[in-house]
Structure 1
Amino acid sequence: MRIYKKVSVAILIFYLLTYSKGFSMTFYVSKKGNDNWSGRISRPTLNHKDGPFLTVQRAIEEIKNMKEGMKPPEKSITIEVMDGTYQISDRIQIANCSSIHIKGIGKNVVLTGGQKIEKWEKINNPDILHRLNKNIREKVVMADLKKQGITDFGDFFQPSWAVSSGSQMYLYFNGKPMQIARWPDEGFAFTGDIVGKGRFYCDAGKEKLEKWREEKFLKAYGYWFYEWAAQHMEIESVDSESCIVSIRNPDSYEYGYKKGAMYFIYNGLSEINQPGEWCLNSDTGEIYFYPPSDIEKGDVIVSINTQPLIEIRNASKIRIENIVFENSRKEGITAYNGDDIIIEKCTFRNLGGWAIRQTSANNSKIRDCEIYNVGEGGIYIEGGSRKTLTPGNNQIVNNLIHDFSLWIRIYRPAIQINGVGNRVANNLIYNAPHMAIGWAGNENIIEFNEIHSVVLETNDAGAIYSGRDPSMQGNIIRYNYFHDIGRITGHGVASVYFDDGHCGNTVYGNIFYRACKPGRGNFGAVFIHGGRYNTIENNIFLECEQAYNESPWNQKLWNDYWTKPPYNQRIFGEEVDVRKEPYLSKYPWLINILNDTRPNVLARNIVYKCKAFIDRGKPELIDNLVEVDPMFESYDPYNPGFLKLKKGSPAFRIGFNQIPVENIGFKKGRHR
């Protein structure tokens, strides 16, 4: 960055002296700027010899150089970014520094990882026209990405169901993600007979399969065996006579294949049949698109950046405010080993990966942001030490997160929180195929969130989910409002799901309205699989098909699970050993974990207009009010205050405490 050191020594000393005396310091970034200028004034001078910087990265480098050179006191320096769209070709790096505030000034400060496609052509190639539906041949246009300087077309490869795929390219029209051409147009098809590993009968019809034979870049996405484990695959071959579709590298999906599995086929030229659909020839770089409206009057953007738009490493006291992050193939912001990182009032949209991903985070806050149209999850944050039970004190508060998990559709929740002593509150989460919130760790709090219309696609799943570790105790899920959870009849879906032996956690004061799908596993709104001595207390279950249920483990299964690899290492390992400190003092009962048979406890819950309360397991039941009119002040399930109880409610006689419904949900304009 020495090329930019054009500022005179005298001016630099002046800035440092004023900064060290307590005056605030601000650098400016503008589309009208120049990285050879000082960055200390917001507009170019009349003689165009000084003015704002052109890039945020230049401002960061200037701040780092200044601090390293003179060692001033650690006061925050502000970078004000003026209205405009700033294309980020690599990433903005904030590393090994502290006390920087990056603030968007205005309503449209945008960091984009995309490129506009300027030139579209009518299709004249007869081979291409032949493969298109004759009714729309004149409506589909083509662009040669190579001619527009784009040579990295990404890939759709996913090495296994549990990991992310490659840096796939997305196409956006007027700010909205367009649909990769697919069959069926909506929902899923179901595999027919399995005739070999990764080979199945497809009922699309011989005419369609004959067209697929000419498609070189067909892909498939499917829940090939379990409806909680899906994977993107490449199509190896299509036999139109026998109607058999064969998947390339079928062993990469570890569970095998079954008849009746949900799947769809995509990226086929012959499947473009609706406005908004597109497909990509990744050999030639030709992209084909059926625009929803006049393409000459619209903006078509493809994502090209394969890096996070902002990357923070080994930094503290970093604040990012009022900025839009969009059109990247990866994350909006990643942060590694950060302390006191604040991200607020930002918008994350049209991203291929997570919106925000933080690891080794402490004392950080993500608040008042909106996240939507992201390929993976919303916010991933890991903070606090499970080894020492030291809290991370991170907070994810008052965010609006919807329409996520568009590409990797499983285990990419709106919020994933790992570690100790973190808080998730007042978020509004909706529209997703799988989870809303995932958690792993100890002493975390999830409260005052509204969650609806999630787990719309998957089975054996929960809106809030965690599992497979009985040492993860002391977590509290309270004062949340769940409604309209799950969609597919036959799928087992809960609002709160403790899976595979989770113990010692609390579900308190939540409202569950139409909040489950029992399915084959007979799931309740709260469902516990194998877990023990969890407390389910002071909740309201309303119009749920099943309020609560559990699938208990016998003692042999319990001991086998926790005394053999790999799961024995979760409770008797190097990172966590429940026989040693600090677990011995914090959770003394865990010393007896293999023989502790205490039941789950259901106490002082209201169950009203539900088809069933509980029909499996032997939890301890204490003073629950079941199918007795609880006397609500009003009965409008879509009014956030609908479940206040009248003074004479019989629920108060069993010790039920009024739920503070007025504090639940997203608070619009709280910090904006």
Structure 2
Amino acid sequence: MLNRNGSTIALIFFSLTATAQDIYVSPTGSDKLNGLSPRINFWTKTGPFKTLARAQQSIRQIKAAGKFNQPITVHIGKGTYQLQAPLEFDDKDSGLPGQEVTWEGENGGSIISGGIALNNCQSYSSTSPNRILNCQLNASIASNISAEDNERISGNAPVFALFVDDIKMNLARWPDSDWAHIKLPLNAQTHFSVFEKMPKFTGDLSNAQVHIYPNSDYYDQYLGVEKVDTVNNEIILASQTKAAMTSGRRFYLQNFQSALNMPAEWFYDQSNARIQFIPPAGSPAKQVLISSLPNLMKLNSAKYINYRNLTFKYTNGNAITIDDSGNILLDNLEVRHARDKSILATESTDITISNSHLHDSGIGGILLEGGNRPNLQASGNTMVNNHIHDFDNVLLSYSPAIELSGVGGSVSYNLIENGAGSGINIIGNDHLVEKNEISDICKQSSDCGAIYSGRDWTFRGNIIRYNYVHDYTGYMLDTNTLNVAKNILQYKNDGARGIYLDDGVSGFTVFGNILVNAGMLSIQLGGGRDTLIENNVIKTDKRAIWVDDRGPTYNWSVNRESLASMPIKSILWAKKYPKLSAPMNKDIWPEDNIIRRNVIISTASNGYAIRYLLPKKSNIISNNIVWNAKTNIVLDYNILDSNIRGGSQWSNWAGLGFETNSLNTDPCINLMGSKINITCDSSPLSKIGFNNLPTDIGLIQ
């Protein structure tokens, strides 16, 4: 858990009054007691309840009796509360303003679990060199295990996960590490030859599953396998890939017994209802359990409830789901080992997720959606001071650490790191993303970004400011060197972005961010309009700012349809976003953008740092500082309304007059993490009107 200075963010908390009613729960308690004391006295039947469900029943009884006239706090004692079904909260469990209901654990010690322990696991074979252990699974338990469906996951692999000493195990697979690759598609979406030579797998392969990137480095899925042909080195899938397969793309096979040969691997023998596994290296395998529930906690039409100091773990879906709820506080939680998301909140308002540690989830960290876009009614949803990492361990793409959707949400002071794909996705209007630190992401993806939005002209009023984005590259197939006939196949660390405004998304403010080695493009404006890129500091050996016009291949009908779907000419929208309803010169051009007062420090050996593909009319580029200590700054450009294009050194570009009042000079700054130190008495920052940046970026400790 995080150490925190509570006074820093005290405004998001409520205060318990002296007259609050207290209810106690403990794993050593009894549901036959009254729940009014943390200590047991069987003579008076006073003491804590044993289950959370009994405490919930007690609150409902208080409300039904008309005695709910003060805040209620449920004190959840240390220990593990193994659920038989998800905890479900609704209006009957709600509090009132000033009379909140609080469920409060003991920091780090109150665990809500969807795991089922497996006991009496025996050695599968005394002669096994891999120390395979065998656990019999009760057939009735197996039949009751459920999970949330996902259209990107199919096949006969188990829907539950196995954990040994709190380490998530990997389904037995080939190759043991890294990926295999498609050599040639023999059918567009179901049949392909394999680049690497497959071994002669033994045993039943009918439940094998493939995890595959069929066509790109930014979309993966799981599919069942119809046939593995090791003689011809081919695989036939049980269903179609989303897109036509192409040579060189990645996959691996999993969930078959003969691949069980490595520490931390497992296999579920469905026909015999048994689990086989090799413990992680160094693990004594004292605790073996499986995830059994689709969710751990569900809120529907609930209000004014607070959850604090709790740990949620082991679920086959989203750990916490919230729908049509409001004024919910999730504070100082640890959520781990969710197959889907840690927290999913939809159509909800005034949800606060704070001071929490969310990690080891499978399909994203947090999705928080609320507010009304046609009416521009703000959600008030807030995510502040959370540490989110290892958030996309099942689906490696389109599973961001945070997805903020709707209207008027905020994401601040979060640390996001160690992800296969993107960090933060923005959908909707008037969101604020500020003072977050994002690094070490896009580890298995290209065309992804630390902060991403795309494909909608009406996503207006969003502010991205004062974020520290640094040190990641992306991962992608090198199509330039791919030669199947010569058995040449290479992947490279490339393809990620920093702040990625994709496919015409418009009306953003990108202000005061620090981007250091943030992928191949630090800030990309992909054909968008009415966007302000100002006062950012960028240090990179790749491209600092990249503005493009998307070209003729992009399907602009997506943007045009979204434009027609929103009331952009209503009084409310026209007043708030006047440029949105104004006539466009050419809707496929990036128009009315401002790029000014940015500091670009290029460390590229060739000096290539910038691309501008945009019209001169309506766009403003001015008052920037560009610098490369070893060579000249180089950029390429295409001025769309003048048909002037080329690539040249900075001095030639400046002479064309499209950019004004900018300087090619040493900015005299030293970047120390998210801190900027001035290194000379006469820094040119003041000449361009650069504003100082805050120093409180990242987690609040």
The SS at the match of 1:391 is coil
Within 5 Å, give how 1:424-463 maps onto structure 2.
424-463=411-450
Q: Deviations over 1:288-331 (max 9, x none)?
A: 1011257765211211112x211111111110000000011122
User: How many residue pairs were aligned?
Assistant: 615
CA contact (8 A) 2:165 2:283 kept: no
Q: Deviations over 1:317-372 (max 9, x none)?
A: 11000000001112221111121111011101111121111112222211100011
Aligned to 1:572: 564
Distance 1:237 1:261 in 2: 19
Deviation of the 1:635 alpha carbon: 4.7
CA contact (8 A) 1:157 1:232 kept: no
Residue 657 of structure 2 is aligned to residue 631 of structure 1? no
CA contact (8 A) 2:101 2:306 kept: yes
RMSD between aligned alpha carbons?
A: 2.6
Distance 1:40 1:465 in 2: 49
Q: Deviations over 1:371-394 (max 9, x none)?
A: 111112111111211111111111
Distance 1:48 1:139 in 2: 53
Deviation of the 1:186 alpha carbon: 2.5
Q: Residues 268 and 647 of structure 1: is their aligned pair in 2 closer, same or farther, counting only changes over 3 Å?
A: farther
Distance 1:51 1:156 in 2: 37
CA contact (8 A) 1:362 1:394 kept: yes
| Residue in structure 1 matching 2:243, options 236, 249, 255 | 255
| Residue in structure 1 matching 2:192, options 193, 200, 207 | 200
The SS at the match of 1:652 is helix
Distance 2:406 2:681 in 1: 41
Distance 1:418 1:269 in 2: 42
The SS at the match of 2:581 is helix
Q: Residues 473 and 165 of structure 1: is their aligned pair in 2 closer, same or farther, counting only changes over 3 Å?
A: farther
Identity %: 27
Distance 2:334 2:412 in 1: 18
More divergent stretch after superposition (390-399 vs 287-296): 287-296
Deviation of the 1:561 alpha carbon: 2.1
Aligned to 2:325: 338
Aligned to 1:602: 595
Aligned to 1:530: 527
Q: Deviations over 1:90-124 (max 9, x none)?
A: 11111102221000035310000001111212325
Deviation of the 1:148 alpha carbon: 8.6
Normalising by structure 1, we get a TM-score of: 0.86
| Residue in structure 2 matching 1:211, options 201, 208, 211 | 201
Distance 1:324 1:510 in 2: 33
Q: Residues 297 and 549 of structure 1: is their aligned pair in 2 closer, same or farther, counting only changes over 3 Å?
A: closer
Q: Residues 40 and 167 of structure 1: is their aligned pair in 2 closer, same or farther, counting only changes over 3 Å?
A: farther
Aligned to 1:15: none
Residue 583 of structure 2 is aligned to residue 548 of structure 1? no
The SS at the match of 2:613 is coil
Residue 343 of structure 2 is aligned to residue 356 of structure 1? yes
Q: Residues 295 and 587 of structure 1: is their aligned pair in 2 closer, same or farther, counting only changes over 3 Å?
A: closer
Q: Deviations over 1:410-429 (max 9, x none)?
A: 11111111011111001000
Normalising by structure 2, we get a TM-score of: 0.83
* Structure 2 segments unaligned to the other structure (5+ residues): 1-16, 476-491, 628-664
The SS at the match of 1:192 is strand
Aligned to 1:220: 210
More divergent stretch after superposition (229-238 vs 524-533): 524-533
Q: Residues 344 and 172 of structure 1: is their aligned pair in 2 closer, same or farther, counting only changes over 3 Å?
A: same
Aligned to 1:191: 182
The SS at the match of 1:67 is helix
Aligned to 1:77: 72
| Residue in structure 1 matching 2:501, options 490, 498, 511 | 498
Aligned to 1:394: 381
Aligned to 2:57: 61
CA contact (8 A) 1:77 1:100 kept: yes
More divergent stretch after superposition (47-56 vs 268-277): 47-56
Q: Residues 258 and 55 of structure 1: is their aligned pair in 2 closer, same or farther, counting only changes over 3 Å?
A: same
Aligned to 2:300: 313
Distance 1:652 1:530 in 2: 31
CA contact (8 A) 1:504 1:533 kept: yes
CA contact (8 A) 2:473 2:493 kept: no
Q: Deviations over 1:468-509 (max 9, x none)?
A: 111011101010011112232364211111111101101111
Q: Deviations over 1:6-43 (max 9, x none)?
A: xxxxxxxxxxxxxxx98210111111222232111112
Residue 609 of structure 2 is aligned to residue 613 of structure 1? yes
CA contact (8 A) 1:379 1:415 kept: yes
User: 1:461 corresponds to which letter in structure 2?
Assistant: C
Q: Residues 42 and 166 of structure 1: is their aligned pair in 2 closer, same or farther, counting only changes over 3 Å?
A: farther
Q: Residues 106 and 498 of structure 1: is their aligned pair in 2 closer, same or farther, counting only changes over 3 Å?
A: closer
Distance 1:225 1:186 in 2: 21
Q: Residues 297 and 471 of structure 1: is their aligned pair in 2 closer, same or farther, counting only changes over 3 Å?
A: closer
Distance 1:71 1:245 in 2: 66
Q: Residues 155 and 416 of structure 1: is their aligned pair in 2 closer, same or farther, counting only changes over 3 Å?
A: closer
Q: Residues 90 and 248 of structure 1: is their aligned pair in 2 closer, same or farther, counting only changes over 3 Å?
A: same
Distance 2:438 2:149 in 1: 32
Distance 1:394 1:349 in 2: 22
| Residue in structure 1 matching 2:579, options 589, 596, 604 | 589
Q: Deviations over 1:133-165 (max 9, x none)?
A: x9x54511111212694434657975347x999
More divergent stretch after superposition (360-369 vs 277-286): 277-286
Distance 1:72 1:151 in 2: 41
| Residue in structure 2 matching 1:242, options 218, 232, 240 | 232
| Residue in structure 1 matching 2:173, options 160, 182, 186 | 182
Distance 1:361 1:205 in 2: 51
User: 2:580 corresponds to which letter in structure 1?
Assistant: L
Aligned to 2:656: none
The SS at the match of 1:466 is strand
Residue 33 of structure 2 is aligned to residue 33 of structure 1? no
Distance 1:85 1:164 in 2: 33
The SS at the match of 1:191 is strand
Deviation of the 1:443 alpha carbon: 0.9
Q: Residues 230 and 294 of structure 1: is their aligned pair in 2 closer, same or farther, counting only changes over 3 Å?
A: closer
